Structure 1
Amino acid sequence: MRAGRPAVITGRAVVALASVAVIGLSGYGWSLLNQAQTHLTTDDVIQHHTPPAAVDTIQHRDGQDTNFLLVGIDSRTDVHGNPLPPDVLASLHAGPDDGYLNTDTLIVVHVPGDGGKASAISIPRDSYVDIAGGYGKHKINSAYSIGMNNHNGSQTEGRKTLIQTVENFTGVTIDHYAEINLYGFDLISQALGGVPVCLNHAVNDSQYSGAVFPAGQQTLSGVQALQFVRQRHGLDNGDIDRERRQQSFLASAVHQLLSVGTLTSPSKLNAIIDAVQNSIVLDQGWDLLQFAQQVQGISGGNITFDTIPIVNITYWTPADGDAVQVDPVQVKEFVAAKFGDGPATPSSATTTPPSSPTGKAAGDGSRKSPIVSGTTTTSTTQQPITATGVTCVN
């Protein structure tokens, strides 16, 4: 990884998959989706195994529950390996290509087989965890690159390393994998005709993400949408506030899919499918038609969004600099409760960051001096995020 590089973290993966789900609800959509299935990029990355932490692993209650790992990757190419045009990269404020593929969006979605409420849990990109394969502790967004670079540049092995790392960390068996690149988010948000968002305060982050927005509700698409969900500089809780933005955006996008005539608009359906075909990678066993039937509840707003508990968002590490400190035992308990296999827990849990000795906002990767980590995770009361409207965030 490279310190100081602008991070791109978005809800583009969930938006893409939710788009697929909604498309599948219409007669025309079924035909279009069936055609699209044959042109999607897939990879053989799901290993049917029992994760090492088997005793703590969340098992499917009735054999029909499904867990999806949704990943946003900062690739400067499309899924076919074609480089994105320089003007596109410039408009996305993507920064230079340093040869690393970091996964800046990580969301585990649990869809119960009994038709109950689905749950989506975000994992902050800088969570300091054990990387599967014996590579030691690093930020979780480096798992993909570590696996790839240690297997002769194989992206398949990178994806497998990431999946196994998430499984070990959360105690969840991953059934399906979806990966979407940087440009895909731009295309999909435009295909939706824009997504309504709401800010509690005006923001000006022209130096890093390019996000310059007034307070209140507004509709964003393309580059502006990407800027909205990328911003972390200038936010009180850095990456954690960005997680909330990501969740609110994708929830609003799902709501938007049902409220703007997408189901009856062949042009919008075609635009979404075209964006998905050029920007998304699925595991080989993912049947989109079956998926569309299974997640109709998600597209109807029957999903909640949370972030894993955080111990400290300014945890100093010798090799990786500032990271997000997490407690794996606490994370497993939290995920089990949210996915219906454990006792109830608070809806959100984050730690207020300590003051930075350099005066920089928490989560700023440029800080190099040590920070003493906290030892207790505290809860905060925030408006729940669901796919039933627009939630205002910082």
Structure 2
Amino acid sequence: MSAVILLVTGIAWKNLNELTSNLTTQELGLADAGEKPADGAIDILLVGMDSRTDSKGNPLPQNILNELQAGGSDDGGFNTDTLILLHIPNDSGKAYAVSFPRDSYVKIAGGYGRHKINSAYGYAKGQEAEKLQGSGKSAPEIEMATRKAGAKNLIETIQNLTSVTIDHYAEVNLVGFYDITKAVGGIDVCLNAKVRDSFSGANFPAGPQTIEGKNALAFVRQRHGLPMGDLDRVVRQQVFMAGLAKKMLSAGVLTDSTKRSETIKAVSGALVLDDGWDITKFALQMKDLTGGNMTFQTIPTGNPDLQTPEDGSAVEVDEREVNKFIKNLGKDPAAASNTPDSKFDNASLTVDVRNASGIAGLAGTVLQSLVAKGFGEGQTGNAEAMAKSVVRYGKGGEDGANAVQKALGGMKTEEDVNVPAGRVRVFLGSDYSGPGAQGFTGSGVLALDGAHQQPADPAAPKPITADGVRCVN
């Protein structure tokens, strides 16, 4: 997905025609069909599609599905497993890539109710397919019409959630992602610990490594076996995109004519764009965007194990928090974090923090991050080791617990009769990576080269690093 944004910033202009000639486009009626978006900024929705078809809607052969470890042609469907909003301010000085966890529980446009955000495309696509049954249209015509309906409903869902007007749309599917990573010669990544997951096919040792093709897909698709599940997968995707961008802008890709040609072929055959997108003009706008001028972030989330009526476990999302987060992009994060929650008076609550992670000093730094956001300073201490973090509250203290877990990037809350009124107790498990700890799952910032842009917690463990590549779970 970062290919459409970053490849054109480095290749010779004579290659632009080759890049754009085979792109698939859809008429989506987006805002930037004319000269310039109304607010001066450009907002692009990047979508990674879990589909078993190519960009033209043709079913993938079974041998390709086998290589992708994607099951049969009837598996998967049209879930949008990667959703990223790329926000480019009007001065083009710094861009922000904001991830939406695929399991975010939100209101789906089109009257479908509340569901996981990755179903917005599929709901509308399926409904449109029912409408077109018996219409006399050919199968390819129906396929493209239903895809258009799905994309438009997904765009509307994101716009409703963020209050951002989407100017452009870019979509890539499994085989497109596979081809791009093969064409550039693999992406450098690093893991803190070895993983083996039968669901995604991820089977990697700890430490730095170069991955491509089916291994690259497994790396960005894994969520089972990760401490924070879908939220950790978002971090994987962000680190991978940073590595992909770095690789595409490297001399090895840009100066090697064979590799450059293969990359352009892969990108042009893999992407679906809105038809109002002038890639040449966009490339000129983006020419000054370098590695230091893009950061990756994730929308704020609440309970990562929210139980829903129809969709099972999902990630809790507060629309008002997302709106505030998006509006604060580019502003001083310290100033934004000190803004009191309009729904709860932080000063009315005292927070105790218990360290159950085994990381020396973590409770103190986390408590200070909460004090900086207006909460009352309680006590710190140690607790028996726990895998999952939790906020515990006494009778009637649910609002306060929710305010604290949101301030920490999201975790489970539970009632505990032993917690007195006016206090909550935070237990930091080994999964914790929010404010006060190195790493992030909410508002942390990652630079385009994969390195953190915020100061590391001196008490946190030092992760494996290799040639500037950030190591993740």
Normalization by structure 2: what TM-score?
0.68
* Structure 2 residue 250 is the aligned partner of structure 1 residue 259: yes
Deviates more, 1:265-274 or 1:159-168: 265-274
What secondary structure, in the 3-state scheme, does the structure 1 residue paired with 2:336 have? coil
* Equivalent position to 1:182, from 174, 192, 195: 174
Counterpart of 1:173 (choices 165, 172, 187) is 165
**From 119, 144, 153, the counterpart of 2:121:** 144
Is 2:4 the counterpart of 1:17? yes
Q: Distance in 1 between matches of 2:256 and 2:96?
A: 29
TM-superposed deviation, 1:320 = 1.1
Matched ranges for 1:164-243 at <5 A = 164-205=156-197, 207-243=198-234
Partner of 1:89: 65
Q: Which of these residues, 361, 385, 389, is aligned with residue 446 of structure 2? A: 385
Other-structure match for 1:34: 17
Residues 1:99 and 1:254: Cα distance change in structure 2 (over 3 Å): closer
**Whole-angstrom distance in 1 between the partners of 2:272 and 2:210:** 28
* Larger relative contact order (CA 8 Å, sep ≥ 6): 1
Q: 1 CA distance for matches of 2:29 and 2:253?
A: 31
Kept after mapping to 2: 8 A contact 1:200/1:215: yes
Provide Cα deviations, 1:212-242, integer angstroms capped at 9, x if missing partner.
1111111111111111111111110001011
For the structure 1 residues 341 and 328, does the alpha-carbon distance in structure 2 shift closer, same or farther, using more than 3 Å as the test? farther
1:55-92 alpha-carbon deviations (Å, 9 max, x no partner): xxxx97x8431011000001111112222221221122
In structure 2, stretches of 5+ residues that fail to align are: 130-141, 339-386, 389-397, 410-433, 440-444, 450-467
User: Given the superposition, is the C-alpha separation of residues 40 and 181 from structure 1 closer, same or farther in structure 2, using an over 3 Å criterion?
Assistant: same
Does the Cα contact within 8 Å between 1:46 and 1:175 map onto a contact in 2? no
3-state SS of the aligned residue for 1:106?
Answer: strand
Tell me the amino acid that sits aligned with residue 390 of structure 1.
Answer: V
Partner of 2:313, secondary structure, is strand
Quickly say closer, same or farther: Cα 1:174–1:341, change in 2 above 3 A.
Answer: farther
What is the letter of the counterpart of residue 192 of structure 2? N
- The equivalent of 2:263 in structure 1 is 272
| 2:315 counterpart (321, 324, 332) | 324
SS in 2 for 1:344: helix
Quick one: structure 1 residues 18 and 391, their matched pair in 2 at CA, closer, same or farther if it must change by over 3 Å?
A: farther
Q: Measure the CA separation in 2 of the matches of 1:237 and 1:35.
A: 41
Superposition pairs of residues 65-76 of structure 1, within 5 angstroms? 65-76=41-52
Aligned-partner Cα distance in 1 for 2:173–2:66: 16
How large is the Cα RMSD of the aligned pairs? 2.5
2:111 match: secondary structure: coil
CA distance in 2, matches of 1:272, 1:189: 9
Give me the whole-angstrom Cα distance separating, in 1, the residues matched to 2:330 and 2:108. Answer: 23
**2:238 paired with 1:247:** yes
Is this contact kept in 2: 1:117–1:297, CA < 8 A? no
In the TM superposition, what is the alpha-carbon distance from 1:138 to its structure 2 partner?
0.8
Superposed, which structure 2 residues align to 1:114-125 within 5 Å? 114-125=91-102
1:283 aligns with 2:274: yes
Separation of aligned partners in 2, 1:215 and 1:272: 29
Structure 1 distance, partners of 2:155, 2:470, is: 30
TM-score (norm 1): 0.81
Distance 1:71 1:308 in 2: 16
Specify whether residues 98 and 215 from structure 1 end up closer, same or farther in structure 2 by C-alpha distance, changes over 3 A only. closer
> Which secondary structure state, in structure 1, belongs to the residue aligned with residue 305 of structure 2?
strand
Q: Secondary structure of the residue that 2:469 maps to in structure 1?
A: coil
Which 4+ stretches in 1 moved above 4 angstroms?
339-343
Shift of 1:296: 2.9
Check conservation: 2:22, 2:269, Cα contact below 8 A: no
Q: For 1:341-392, what per-residue CA distance to the aligned partner results, in whole angstroms no more than 9, with x for missing partners?
A: 995349xxxxxxxxxxxxxx99xxxxxxxxx997231141334421124211
User: Residue 334 of structure 1 contacts residue 345 of structure 1 at CA under 8 Å; is this kept in 2?
Assistant: no
Aligned partners of 1:18 and 1:299 also within 8 Å: no
Q: Separation in 1 of the partners of 2:46 and 2:110?
A: 21
Find the aligned partners of 2:253 and 2:108 in 1 and give their Cα distance.
40
Equivalent pairs counted in the alignment come to 343
**2:419: which partner in 1?**
none
Distance 1:301 1:195, change over 3 A: farther
User: What percentage of residue pairs aligned between the two structures are identical?
Assistant: 48
CA contact (8 A) 1:70 1:107 kept: yes
**Residue 299 to residue 85, structure 1, CA distance change in 2 (3 Å):** farther
Corresponding residue number in structure 2 for 1:77: 53
Report if aligned partners of 2:296, 2:446 keep a CA contact under 8 Å in 1: yes
2:161 is equivalent to residue 100 of structure 1: no
Structure 1: gaps spanning 5 or more residues: 1-12, 50-58, 347-360, 363-371
In structure 2, do the counterparts of structure 1 residues 239 and 191 end up closer, same or farther at CA, with 3 Å as the change threshold? same
Q: Do the aligned partners of residues 89 and 119 (structure 1) sit closer, same or farther apart at CA in structure 2, a change above 3 Å counting?
A: same
Taking the aligned partners of 2:76 and 2:255, their CA distance within structure 1 comes to 42
Distance 1:314 1:65, change over 3 A: same
Give, in whole Å, the separation in 2 of the partners of 1:110 and 1:340.
13
